[in-house]
Structure 1
Amino acid sequence: MRGDVPSIVAVATFLYEYAKVSGLYANPYKTSVYYGGVSQEVKYQIGALTGYSEDQFPFRYLGITMNPGRLARGMFQAMVDKVQASIQHLTGNLLSYVGKLQLINSVLFGLENYWCSTLLLPKVVAKLVNKLCKNYFWGTPSGQRKTTFQSWGSIFALWQEGGFN
């Protein structure tokens, strides 16, 4: 919204009307206002109208770093760390290739999709996550490849038969 008092009054009115209908009220102790290019006087007026405190960027919401500026690789380190932790946890399991593939599709890419639903991932982060998943699938998390002996018939077999389709 615009950083002026009439805009804040309109939003506060909407939130009040919504709260009357739904019974869901914004908790002023958990709610913050983030400003950009607003004078101190307007900040004071908005704070007095809403009762919300001022906070600064970047902040974390549901484990995701929120920032109004350009998204850097370092902001996604938490996601990369979660993927690595998941892989470290999963390495003890002796799974077939199909089991590993299913695990990657459901768990690891599910985590990436959760982040992508909120933010646009930089290419370098997406490539890093794909590399981690590829290393888990074909070898070890440390990046060492292990020799695989598979017949072409088992690789090109149907999914239902344990192949890669």
Structure 2
Amino acid sequence: MDISRFFKRAWSMIKSDVVRAIKDFFTTGKLYKAINCTAITLLPKVMIELRFPRRFQDWVLTCVKIVSYSIVVNREPSVPFPAAKGLRQGDPISYFLFAIVMKYLSRSLKGFQKDKEYKYHHRCSKLGITHLSFADDLLLFARGDIPYVTQLQQCLNQFYRASRLQANQTKSFIYYGGVTQVVKDEMQQIFGYSRGELPVKYLGVPLSTKKMSFAQWQPLIEKTVARISSWTAKKLSYAGKIQLVQSVMFGIQAYWSQLFLIPSKFIKIIEAYCRSYVWSGYNVITRRSLVTWEKMCTPMSAGGLNLINLKLWNMAAAAKNH
């Protein structure tokens, strides 16, 4: 039974729930997962294009085709029936299938590299970067001229027609640089997105065209203080505190260290909080310290505690990625 026939036959039972869901959608912009599904017609084409082994393709399509559901009525499950539209959103395998489908969009955008008339964003031309993506987060780059922006939108429209996936209008923004107000207005009409202002957060870190201010570094310090605050109620030995600082606190700043050169001022603040927690057990910077932080960061063979020197790690991590 296809989904349209199901709704017609069961309308007397599901009418109130469906109407309420649609009303909530127009209010919140969110659709219940139970009736929110994604077409997966792109899967065979993308897997063939990516040259996945035939056996692997058969496995994936089998997982999609054999999906069935059973409805619990009065605590009794009904006879299972096949799912005509494939996987429901939230299925464990849906994330993997989504990544495969997004590969199709990525390849379409990379097709601009073969177009000699396409003009890149001036900071992306040497590397030929048209986009950056991570899961469902996507950044598009183009020269601030209408023809090139239109090409990007046409690519997104083509992807929508093939997959029924499109950008969320309320969560998508356009960021300009060095273009006139007339061009800005035309671009907003093409995409339909709101205008964004830098700096902006992407994957948890701020993106800015200028040197990062104190306020932009503040979240890193706040995360450190918040984590220490959650430990202060626990009565731990010096060895336990050192182990927490070594593993957890290093993990908090490691991601930022690979992207930015953290100013010495902020590294010292983070180290001061860590040092104070080790010796006092509180989340307040104090002068109480039985051993200097520099000594604590030396190897155990040299009499230290083998903690990681954040400044040296930051320099090494930044050099590795740049």
Per the normalisation by structure 2, the TM-score is: 0.41
Q: Are 2:196 and 1:55 equivalent residues in the alignment? A: yes
CA distance in 1, matches of 2:144, 2:190: 13
Aligned counterpart, 1:27: 168
Aligned counterpart, 1:137: 278
Could you list the per-position Cα deviations for residues 41-71 of structure 1 after superposition, in whole angstroms to 9, with x for gaps in the alignment?
1101111111111122233446544322111
Identical-residue share of aligned pairs (%): 34
CA distance in 2, matches of 1:47, 1:120: 35
Could you list the per-position Cα deviations for residues 134-154 of structure 1 after superposition, in whole angstroms to 9, with x for gaps in the alignment?
221233433141659xxxxxx
In structure 2, relative to structure 1, the CA distance for the partners of 1:102 and 1:13 (3 Å cut) is farther
CA distance in 1, matches of 2:252, 2:200: 20
Aligned counterpart, 1:2: 143
Report the number of matched residues: 154
* Larger displacement relative to structure 2 (91-100 or 63-72): 63-72
**Structure 2: gaps of 5 or more residues:** 1-141, 292-299, 307-322
- 1:118 is displaced (CA, Å) by 4.8
* Larger displacement relative to structure 2 (101-110 or 137-146): 137-146
Aligned counterpart, 1:68: 209
Q: Are 2:248 and 1:107 equivalent residues in the alignment? A: yes
CA distance in 1, matches of 2:162, 2:215: 42
Aligned counterpart, 1:43: 184
CA distance in 2, matches of 1:123, 1:146: 20
Would you say the 8 A contact 1:58–1:65 is kept in 2?
yes
In structure 2, relative to structure 1, the CA distance for the partners of 1:164 and 1:60 (3 Å cut) is closer
* Larger displacement relative to structure 2 (11-20 or 46-55): 11-20
- 1:85 is displaced (CA, Å) by 2.1
Q: Are 2:235 and 1:94 equivalent residues in the alignment? A: yes
Q: Which amino acid aligns with 2:262?
A: L
- 1:18 is displaced (CA, Å) by 4.6
Q: Which has the higher contact order (CA 8 A, sep 6+)?
A: 1
Higher radius of gyration, 1 or 2: 2
Could you list the per-position Cα deviations for residues 81-119 of structure 1 after superposition, in whole angstroms to 9, with x for gaps in the alignment?
221122122122121223212211332222212333454
For the aligned residue pairs, the C-alpha RMSD in angstroms reads 3.0
